[in-house]
Chain A
Amino acid sequence: MAEERGFRSASGAPIALRRRQHSASCRELAVRGPRLQLRSLSAATSAVWLAAYGLFALSENSMVLSAAIFITLIGLIVYLHFVKIDQESLLVIGSLGIQVTSSYASGKESTTFIEIGQVKDVVINEAIHMQKVIYYLCILLQDPEDPQGVSEVVPLFQSSKPRLDCLIEVYKSCQEILEQRKTAPQSS
């Protein structure tokens, strides 16, 4: 059972949240950001090539032009493989753990798994980030020594930065699953 809704990111870009319920205690929430636009790619390439042509006109050195082409190609590959995140997804399995996956535009996927025993809670926190105050979803990890303490904070959806309405949907879905482990605590 899957459903998809459109939202906005913190900077105004359109994003989509897709919710899939695999079973009663397993849910997958995926936030998909906007694809790389052709117009921004052409604008960046033209800007670099115009600057290189200007340098070539000044210096009469043709290496500048080939260097500009090289830089554009390498820069695009590095950007697609290391920077541009297409989709961030959260897979919550009630008795097992939480898996966070980031899929890059080049197809690379980077995954982190957090076991359910380490998860204290999933909360919406607000913090100051680059001259703005943003809401972001984060996983609080349990401190082994102190039952009330938080040892680490793992922020989620860092690159798509959804706004509060999308975060509330994700929060409610996660809390429905996390509450189940309180009602059935002794099974594992």
Chain B
Amino acid sequence: NSPAPLPERAIYGFALFLGSWFGFILYVIWAYIPETWLFSLGLTYWPQKYWAVALPVYLLVAVGIGYILLFGINMMSTAPLNSTHTITDNYAKKQQQKKFQEEAIPALRDIPISEVNRMFFLPEK
């Protein structure tokens, strides 16, 4: 899964490059050339020209709303101040207590908030 260049990736990249240029030229032709000229060429089945302006506007407004929506979703998923999720969670509740061995580094665990508070705020010295 390395990002190194490979021959297949070069071919996909070039095909995408040509495809996106083709799509862009087609869009510009559709948006700018008057309908009568296109009809005279025999190409009659196009979407309405309204969409040549409407689709980009929809896209940009969606991007703008997406910023605000993401902000709002983040704020909604933050735990409120009175929820126990700010103190503990399922993994901390179900953790097993390893036995204390002398002269060994204690095992890694979630320390309860009361102990942490005592350690931080109570010692005077």
A and B from one complex: yes
**Are B121's CB and A172's CB within 8 A?**
yes
Chain A residues whose CB sits within 8 angstroms of the CB of B79 once the complex forms: 127-128
**Are B87's CB and A153's CB within 8 A?**
yes
For B113, give its contact among A123, A130, A149, A171 (CB under 8 Å). Answer: A123
Task: Show 27 residue pairs from A and B whose CB-CB distance is below 8 angstroms, ordered by the A residue.
Answer: A121-B114, A121-B117, A123-B113, A123-B114, A123-B117, A124-B121, A125-B87, A125-B113, A127-B79, A128-B78, A128-B79, A129-B78, A129-B81, A130-B75, A138-B81, A140-B113, A148-B112, A149-B93, A150-B87, A151-B84, A153-B81, A153-B82, A153-B83, A153-B84, A153-B86, A171-B121, A172-B121
Q: Is A155 interfacial (CB-CB < 8 Å)? A: yes
The answer for the CA separation of A143 and B79 in the assembled complex, in Å, is 20
**Are A127's CB and B81's CB within 8 A?**
yes
Contact A125 to B88, CB < 8 A, known contacts A171-B121, A172-B121, A175-B122: no
Task: Return B90 CB to nearest CB of chain A, in Å.
Answer: 12
Chain B residues whose CB sits within 8 angstroms of the CB of A138 once the complex forms: 81-82
Chain B residues whose CB sits within 8 angstroms of the CB of A121 once the complex forms: 113-114, 117
Chain B residues whose CB sits within 8 angstroms of the CB of A171 once the complex forms: 117, 121
Task: Return B115 CB to nearest CB of chain A, in Å.
Answer: 10
Chain B residues whose CB sits within 8 angstroms of the CB of A7 once the complex forms: none
**Are A127's CB and B84's CB within 8 A?**
no
In this complex, the interface size class of chain A, counting residues with CB under 8 Å from chain B, is 20 to 34
Main secondary structure of the interface of A (DSSP, over half): strand
Chain B residues whose CB sits within 8 angstroms of the CB of A127 once the complex forms: 79, 81, 86
Residues 141-155 of A at the B interface (beta carbon under 8 Å) = 148-155
**Are B117's CB and A124's CB within 8 A?**
yes
The 8 A CB mask of A115-138 against B (1 = contact, 0 = none) is 000001101110111100000101
Chain A residues whose CB sits within 8 angstroms of the CB of B75 once the complex forms: 130
**Are A150's CB and B84's CB within 8 A?**
yes
Chain A residues whose CB sits within 8 angstroms of the CB of B112 once the complex forms: 148
The answer for the CA separation of A175 and B115 in the assembled complex, in Å, is 12
Chain A residues whose CB sits within 8 angstroms of the CB of B81 once the complex forms: 127, 129, 136, 138, 153, 155, 158
The answer for the CA separation of A154 and B84 in the assembled complex, in Å, is 10
Task: Return A178 CB to nearest CB of chain B, in Å.
Answer: 10
**Are B121's CB and A150's CB within 8 A?**
no
Chain B residues whose CB sits within 8 angstroms of the CB of A77 once the complex forms: none
Task: Return A126 CB to nearest CB of chain B, in Å.
Answer: 8
**Are B86's CB and A125's CB within 8 A?**
yes
Chain B residues whose CB sits within 8 angstroms of the CB of A150 once the complex forms: 84, 87-88
